[in-house]
Structure 1
Amino acid sequence: MSPKLITPPEAAAKLGVSLRTLRTLSTQPDGPRVIRIGRSVRYSADDLDRWLQNRMEH
């Protein structure tokens, strides 16, 4: 089963942050992982859930 990929606006809405904040977070070593498909940027919904859960635990 392939992961559900979401666009940056969908990912930002899921996290409750702006697109600019999402981009900034994604450049950090411990930020959400970006998946590039050609020139398109996507995020795995499952990875975002795990990343957010880890942030809430720290």
Structure 2
Amino acid sequence: MARQLPDRYLTPIDLADLLGVPIETVYQWRRKRTGPRGFRVGRHLRFDPEDVRRWVESLMEEAA
């Protein structure tokens, strides 16, 4: 991943912006359990930047 990941947990909007996808795509990944692992803090969905990095790397390996 060329862009530097932030040192904080990502919101769904952060993730969509980072990957250049619509926010609804992030929620579809969550429903289908195909995207990066997310977790809830109360009502708020968050993503660990390290989990996102590993998920992107796994996609790149599959594509190779």
| Class of the TM-score when normalised by the shorter of the 2 chains | 0.7 to 0.9
The residue number in structure 2 matching 1:19 is 23
TM-score by length of 2: 0.76
Using the TM superposition, give the Cα deviation of residue 29 of structure 1 relative to its aligned residue in structure 2, in angstroms: 3.1
Query: Structure 2: where are the runs of 5+ without partners?
Result: 1-6
Calculate the TM-score normalised by the size of structure 1: 0.82
Larger Rg: 2
Pairs aligned (count): 56
The structure where strand makes up a greater share of residues is 1
Which structure 1 segments of 5+ residues have no match? none
Q: In angstroms, what is the RMSD of aligned CA positions?
A: 1.5
Structure 1 segments (4+ residues) deviating >4 Å:
none
Shift of 1:30: 3.4
